[in-house]
Amino acid sequence: MTSSKDTARPIVEMTGISIEFPGVKALDGVDLRLFGGEVHALMGENGAGKSTLIKALTGVYGIDAGEILVGGAPHRFSGPGEAQGAGIATVYQEVNLCENLTVAENIMLGNEPRRFGAIDWRATRRRAAEHLATMGLDIDPASSLGSHSIAVQQLVAISRAMVVDAKVLILDEPTSSLDADEVARLFEVVRALRDQGVAILFVSHFIEQVYEISDRMTVLRNGGLVGEYRTAEISRGELVSRMIGRTMEVLEDLQVRTDHAVDPTAGTPFLQAVGLGRRGSVQPFDLDVHPGEVVGLAGLLGSGRTEVARLLAGADRADAGTLHVKGEPARLRNPRAAIDRDIAFSSEDRKAEGVVGDLTVRENIVLGLQAERGWLRRLPGKQVDEIVDRYITALGIRPANPDALLRNLSGGNQQKVLLARWLATAPELLILDEPTRGIDVGAKAEIQRLVADLASRGMGVVFISAELEEVLRLSHRIAVMRDRQKVAELTNGEAVGLDDVVELIASGGTH
Amino acid sequence: MSATSAPPPRTAGRLGAVTSHTLFWPVVALVALLAANTIFRPSFLSVSVLNGHLFGSPIDILRNCAPLMLVALGMTLVIATRGIDLSVGAVVAIAGAVALSFIATAPEPEAIGTVLTAIGIALVLSLLLGVWNGFLVSVVGVQPIIATLILMTAGRGIAMLITQGQITTVTSAPFKTLGAGFWLGLPVATLVAFGVFGLVSFLTRRTALGMLVEAVGINPSASRLAGVQARTIVWTVFALAGLFSGLAGLILASNVMAADANNAGLFIELDAILAVVIGGTSLAGGKFSLSGTFVGVLIIATLTLTVTNLGISPLVTPLFKALVVAAVTLAQSPVVRRKLAERAVRRPSTSKAVA
Amino acid sequence: MTTTVPDGGTTQGARARRGGGGPATRRALRLDRRYLPVVGTFVVLALILVVGGMRYDNFLSVGVLANLFINNSFLIVLAVGMTFVILTGGIDLSVGAVLALSAVTAAYLLNAGMPAGVVIPLVVLVGSVIGLLVGAMVHVFEIQPFIATLAAMFFARGLCFLVAPESIPISEETFVALAGWDTWIGGQWRITSSVVIALVVVAVAFYLLHYTQFGRTVYAIGGGEQSARLMGLPVARTKVLVYVVSGTCAGIGGLLFAMYSRSGYSLTGVAMELDAIAAVVIGGTLLTGGTGFVLGSVLGVLVLGLIQTVITFEGTLSSWWTKIVIGGLLLVFVILQRVLTVRRT
């Protein structure tokens, strides 16, 4: 894995890093080397362990095994303050600065020059201005940080990192909310810092950006190390397949497939989005979903697939384009508006946006239906029992105890309960965002079978999954997302293979 | 990939099931208080019949706790939605002031019609005050503690405005019945408060209000995506809290037949929050226990009576309340719970569930 | 009038002085949004003064304004302490009761013959210790500030009655002499020892908030606790310390109240925490934390005091209008804050 040119000693050398959380091995023997004067990309799908690795390096998490060498000396950081002291600075995805303070205050916070023990504001502002100048940022240090765009805040955060003369700069998803010009500006700064000899760790879901800026990359998958590569020596297709891995063969045997012989695209679509979009979230896109059709959304995490789902479900409000449901124009101002139009949405964030943990399985299943009726018209107990029994049996929810608290169920069974919640509302369109993430193989197959079954009975389904095989098997049509836009749409069939989709995700279908 | 925390192992069997019940410690506290009183004064628990009415310390407790019972009822629902209502004391004062001022100026203060009208006006006004709080919280989006602080501050001024700064006193037998009367040997105030309490407990479980309130309190974003109209729910519970506080204010006013805008219901919001917390409803919202609140109210009423019985100045009562608050919140604090959970997990260390 | 806007030295004036090109001069005239609420407070204050001055004779007299400070010195100190807590996003309900406890303890100990030189630091320390307990509950046990300070409120109030159920008059000579000390500025503006102490507290608080790491961390926590932690700031220590500051201020407040009333009575300061919170909110501090100024809180106290004064001057208006007006003002400021925060996010 070591290339012959690496004669210089790395500034940071992490070897055999393992971190365990109760019940989960988040990192398992991962290595990472950061060289001065290099931009190093850390790649991997969500849950691959990127954030955990960064947090190990910055002292947010303690490590259970392994060694961290900084400048050749072993280090164990017990907090972000200590890591900063050792010259490791981090700029997090959601800029971790204080919007209520001024730019100068944010840059210098904790490192203000003193005069007779008191903070010397004049010197503080002057030094902040100097740091801004080196970044090429022409903003007033006394203006409040909140009045600037995310891009500027990002650069301010980097300025702050450089106050402590950082030898290592970690950029965690710095470009996720920037537009193209802003990214270019950020990259200029990053290159300048690299040329000064700073080691930069760059984390991003945007493949193109990684190829544009990085010299070297480390790929992680499922908490383990896949390998370290020179950017110039690995192709985009290779990178994507290393990131997602090919460990899904097990499922191939299950042969869950939608019947591709049927062509549901005849007739009017149930849902028709034209130029639907939301600033800072997803570029305007067109999408039709017909009754009985499974539309798959493929793309890496952060490519905009979730954002598309949220717009279709009224979870976020669109600020561009139009949406028609059953031929009628529809403005989905909130999830309730979508539910009233028979659209059901199961969020990817099961824990935060699905599970009501302290309620029972029974209550969770009828929650959607009851919400539709309002609090005054309670569902009759008999009807509730009938619905709950039906879905517990139909979906094989274990334990089959309607009075169990949902938080005590396994992830797969929680997912089934959420599916039951939505199916109980008898939707005509079911939007499933990562319904099979983090659940065991058996439950996964059951959910896939259910999706195929529902579609064959006339329900429209939008299916999102990071596992391309799954999308490929279930979908009639596949929309490919990349860098927050829809880049391609293909009709699924025998001729379409995994490699075609991977190729589209990697290249964007532009060549 | 996924780890699921298995349900906590049931080690202690039936005894464990009893002690781990949310009502266990509150009931123990109540029984201990009653026992201490009985030891100190053996006649404490005895109830005698006088003029066809029941008399005795237990009856005193039941009667004295009536207003707090009503206020704590509304507070429980509000807290379950992650809110808090500081204005209940002010609403108590306003309701009493409105009713008594109306009766005082009415041509026939003794007429049933007058009294019913007065009660009606007071209750409608209290409901509107609750609606106002709900509006600030659910529509304007002000934090509950601040939204209700406004009415808490202004409310007593409004009550004073109504009574023109006087302590309004009236003589009206029908109105006096509400706070000081007896029916079937029991205090009317108790019957009214317990009746409303029972009715609401029944309704929260018979309608879907209870479940939707809990859903909003446990996971607001999941509830929103499930289509729950959180705004309506939050608005409703604040309105109810106002209504119940108004009823509590009427009982208090009727008990002394005077509307004291400054002191009626003073600190009742703190007692109510205390009762809710003692009853096992978390201030973080979510699952609520009306029966827990019921026990919590009884504990506070008994504690107050105990302090008096022991010959301690009632002014020192806050000190005992502080000890109860500290004990209960520390026992409920996330840190202590985590420590306890760690100890519980460490014992059966063989079962490390990874799915 | 930029001198009324405290901001740790970045007033327009300071910026202009610095001058000399650079990007700063470009937007020197734009008012930072952070100052809007304080400016609002100032406008309200000015309005009351103008309207009062036009309606009533003698309203704008030096005596009235001097009395405003004298009668509210203890509330100023409470509001200063509360500002620290609210800036971090917390709340302190215990200050009224701690003030009473401190006043009662002072009266009790002085009556028992203890010298003032010992009693004064001791009663201030009482406040600090209660603040420390609250801070520990909030930080170590993760109890919501609301409940932790509620418990402290009950605790302090109960202790008050344990120490002295009756009002204790203070006759200790040194203390009485200290309380009675005053001086006249320009022969007209009367300043008492309480006012001097209150102003010193304000100055120290201003220094702490704007010129020390502690103060900057207070603001940073209010801006985002997680961010502050990731920036490597001492979040835990600071969170405990703000309650110590608030408790200490309540202790000093009790001292001032004892000096003001020459007695200690366990029922003083009931609901005074509400006045303090109201003053802080009206003074432009956001209840979500992170934005606000200690001088704003002083302005808030002055607004509350002026409302009282106006109602006294009006004569026909009864005293309860004070509460209603304060409630109304609170509503206006809370909605103003809400509008500002919504626009920011």
The string of DSSP letters for B148-206 reads: HHHHHHHHHHHHHHHHTTS-EE---HHHHHHHH-EETTEEHHHHHHHHHHHHHHHHHHH
Q: Could you give the CA distance from residue B104 to residue B172 in angstroms, rounded to a whole number? A: 9
Q: Can you tell me the mean pLDDT for A54-64?
A: 87
- Cβ of B227 within 8 Å of Cβ of A24? The answer is no
Which tops the pLDDT comparison, A71 or B51? A71
Taking only the tens place, the pLDDT of each residue in A73-85 is: 888 887 777 888 8
In sequence order, which residues have a C-beta less than 8 Å from that of residue A234 and are 6 or more positions away?
A: A217, A242
Say which CATH number the domain at B221 has. Answer: 1.10.3470
The answer to whether position B351 is within a domain reads no
Name the domain count of chain B.
1
Q: Are strands A271-278 and A168-172 parallel, antiparallel or unpaired?
A: unpaired
A129 contacts in chain C (CB < 8 Å): 22-24
Q: Which of A23, A222, A408 sits opposite B3 (nearest CB)?
A: A23
**In the predicted structure, residue A265 carries a pLDDT above the cut 80:** no
Taking only the tens place, the pLDDT of each residue in B197-224 is: 999 999 888 888 899 999 999 998 899 8
Our CA-based measurement puts residue A41 at a distance from the nearest CA of chain B, in whole angstroms, of 24
- Point out which residues pair with A170 in neighbouring strands: A90, A201
Residue with tokens 């916070």: A109
Report the candidate in C17, C219, C15 with the shortest Cα–Cα distance to residue A141: C15
Give the confidence band of A259 by pLDDT, cuts at 50, 70, 90: low
CA-nearest residue to A109 within chain C is C216
Q: Could you give the CA distance from residue B64 to residue B307 in angstroms, rounded to a whole number? A: 14
Q: Which of A358, A359, A439 sits opposite B2 (nearest CB)?
A: A439
Q: Is A129 on the interface with C (CB under 8 A)?
A: yes
Q: Is B319 on the interface with C (CB under 8 A)?
A: yes
The answer to whether position B21 is within a domain reads no
Given this model, what pLDDT does residue C287 score? 81
Give the confidence band of A418 by pLDDT, cuts at 50, 70, 90: very high
Q: Can you tell me the mean pLDDT for A8-21?
A: 88
Give the confidence band of A438 by pLDDT, cuts at 50, 70, 90: low
Q: Can you tell me the mean pLDDT for A231-245?
A: 82
In single-letter form, the type of residue at position A454 comes to L
In single-letter form, the type of residue at position B82 comes to R
B154 contacts in chain C (CB < 8 Å): 323-324, 326-328, 330-331
Give the confidence band of A386 by pLDDT, cuts at 50, 70, 90: very high
Q: What does each C-alpha distance from C53 to C58, C59, C61 come to in angstroms?
A: 7, 5, 9
Q: Is C144 on the interface with B (CB under 8 A)?
A: yes
Q: Could you give the CA distance from residue A405 to residue A424 in angstroms, rounded to a whole number? A: 19
Q: Could you give the CA distance from residue A214 to residue C103 in angstroms, rounded to a whole number? A: 67
Report the candidate in B23, B183, B141, B148 with the shortest Cα–Cα distance to residue B74: B148
Give the confidence band of A173 by pLDDT, cuts at 50, 70, 90: confident
Q: What does each C-alpha distance from A393 to A229, A405, A430, A443, B119 come to in angstroms?
A: 49, 18, 20, 14, 53
Q: Which of A345, A376, A425 sits opposite B207 (nearest CB)?
A: A376
Q: Could you give the CA distance from residue A275 to residue A486 in angstroms, rounded to a whole number? A: 11
- Cβ of B325 within 8 Å of Cβ of C151? The answer is yes
**Mean per-residue pLDDT of chain C:** 84
B354 contacts in chain A (CB < 8 Å): 23-24
Question: Residue C90 in 3-state DSSP?
Answer: coil
Q: Which of A347, A355, A372 sits opposite B227 (nearest CB)?
A: A372
- H/E stretch holding A433 reads strand A429-433
The answer to whether position B11 is within a domain reads no
Torsion, Cα A444 A450 A452 A456, to 10 degrees, reads: 180
Our CA-based measurement puts residue A53 at a distance from the nearest CA of chain C, in whole angstroms, of 16
Domains with residue ranges and CATH for chain C? 35-48+62-344 (1.10.3470)
Q: Is B299 on the interface with C (CB under 8 A)?
A: no
Q: What does each C-alpha distance from C171 to A277, A374, B117, C126, C263 come to in angstroms?
A: 76, 67, 55, 21, 9
Q: Could you give the CA distance from residue C281 to residue C321 in angstroms, rounded to a whole number? A: 19
- H/E stretch holding A462 reads strand A460-464
Test mutation, A244, A375, A377, chain B, max B CBs within 10 A: A375
**In the predicted structure, residue A21 carries a pLDDT above the cut 80:** no
For residue C249, what are its two tokens? 């201020």
B284 contacts in chain C (CB < 8 Å): 144
Q: Which of B212, B224, B236 sits opposite A370 (nearest CB)?
A: B212
Taking only the tens place, the pLDDT of each residue in C155-189 is: 999 899 888 888 999 888 888 888 888 888 877 88
Neighbours of C200 (CB within 10 A): 12
Q: Is A138 on the interface with C (CB under 8 A)?
A: yes
Domains with residue ranges and CATH for chain A? 12-244 (3.40.50.300), 249-342+427-507 (3.40.50.300), 353-426 (no CATH)
Given this model, what pLDDT does residue C6 score? 37
Q: Could you give the CA distance from residue B86 to residue C224 in angstroms, rounded to a whole number? A: 26
Residue C186 φ/ψ region, left for φ over 0, alpha for ψ in the -120 to 50 degree band, beta for the rest: left
Q: Is the dihedral of CA C184, C190, C195, C199 positive or negative?
A: negative
Q: Which residues of C touch A (CB under 8 A)?
A: 8-10, 14-15, 18, 22-24, 26-27, 32-34, 207, 210-213, 216-217, 219-220, 222-224, 226-234, 290-291, 344
Q: Could you give the CA distance from residue A311 to residue C250 in angstroms, rounded to a whole number? A: 52
Which tops the pLDDT comparison, C24 or A166? A166
Contact B111, B265 (CB under 8 A): no
Q: Are strands A271-278 and A320-325 parallel, antiparallel or unpaired?
A: antiparallel
Q: What DSSP line would sit under A113-154, residue for residue? A: -EETTEE-HHHHHHHHHHHHHHHT----TTSBGGGS-HHHHH
Cα C215–chain centre separation: 16
Taking only the tens place, the pLDDT of each residue in A185-205 is: 889 889 988 998 999 999 887
Q: Could you give the CA distance from residue A364 to residue A423 in angstroms, rounded to a whole number? A: 12
Give the confidence band of A440 by pLDDT, cuts at 50, 70, 90: low
Q: Are strands A88-91 and A168-172 parallel, antiparallel or unpaired?
A: parallel
Given this model, what pLDDT does residue C342 score? 64
Q: Which residues of chain B have pLDDT under 50?
A: 1-12, 346-355
**In the predicted structure, residue A467 carries a pLDDT above the cut 80:** no
Burial of C345 per CB tally in 10 Å (0-12, 13-18, 19+): exposed
B159 contacts in chain C (CB < 8 Å): 320
Q: Could you give the CA distance from residue C243 to residue C140 in angstroms, rounded to a whole number? A: 13
Given this model, what pLDDT does residue B8 score? 42
Q: Is B11 on the interface with A (CB under 8 A)?
A: no
Give the confidence band of A441 by pLDDT, cuts at 50, 70, 90: low
Test mutation, A57, A60, A109, chain C, max C CBs within 10 A: A109
Residue with tokens 């919400």: A371
A-B contacts (CB, under 8 Å): 114
Given this model, what pLDDT does residue A262 score? 61
Contact A466, A46 (CB under 8 A): yes
- CB contact residues (below 8 A), chain A span 418-447, against chain B: 421, 425, 437-440
Given this model, what pLDDT does residue A46 score? 62
Q: Is B152 on the interface with C (CB under 8 A)?
A: yes
Residue with tokens 């996330």: B334
- Cβ of B208 within 8 Å of Cβ of A370? The answer is yes
- Cβ of C9 within 8 Å of Cβ of A99? The answer is no
- Point out which residues pair with B294 in neighbouring strands: none
A101 contacts in chain C (CB < 8 Å): 219-220, 223, 290
CB hemisphere CA count around B252 (13 angstroms): 31
Q: Which residues of chain C have pLDDT under 70?
A: 1-34, 341-345
CA-nearest residue to C21 within chain A is A140
Range with the lowest mean pLDDT among A162-176, A364-378, B99-113? A162-176
Our CA-based measurement puts residue B107 at a distance from the nearest CA of chain A, in whole angstroms, of 41
Q: Could you give the CA distance from residue B327 to residue B310 in angstroms, rounded to a whole number? A: 22
Which DSSP state fits A102?
B
C10 contacts in chain A (CB < 8 Å): 102, 121, 125, 142
For chain A, the 3-state helix, strand and coil shares in percent, each to the nearest 5, are 35, 25, 40
Given this model, what pLDDT does residue C26 score? 40
Q: Could you give phi then psi for residue C9, rounded to 5 degrees? A: 100, 0
- H/E stretch holding A225 reads strand A224-230
**In the predicted structure, residue A247 carries a pLDDT above the cut 50:** no
Which tops the pLDDT comparison, A296 or A236? A296
Cα separation of the two ends of chain B: 8
Q: What DSSP line would sit under B270-285, residue for residue? A: HHHHHHHHHTT--TT-
Q: Could you give the CA distance from residue C72 to residue A416 in angstroms, rounded to a whole number? A: 62
Q: Could you give the CA distance from residue C274 to residue C91 in angstroms, rounded to a whole number? A: 11
Test mutation, C12, C35, C212, C216, chain A, max A CBs within 10 A: C216
Neighbours of A274 (CB within 10 A): 14
For residue A79, what are its two tokens? 């907090």
Q: Could you give the CA distance from residue A289 to residue A271 in angstroms, rounded to a whole number? A: 5
Residue with tokens 């100026």: B105
Contact B331, B25 (CB under 8 A): yes
pLDDT over 90, % of chain A: 30
Q: Could you give the CA distance from residue A62 to residue A84 in angstroms, rounded to a whole number? A: 15
The answer to whether position B350 is within a domain reads no
Range with the lowest mean pLDDT among A151-160, A438-447, A500-509, C314-323? A438-447
Domain that holds residue B219: 56-345
Contact A472, A296 (CB under 8 A): yes
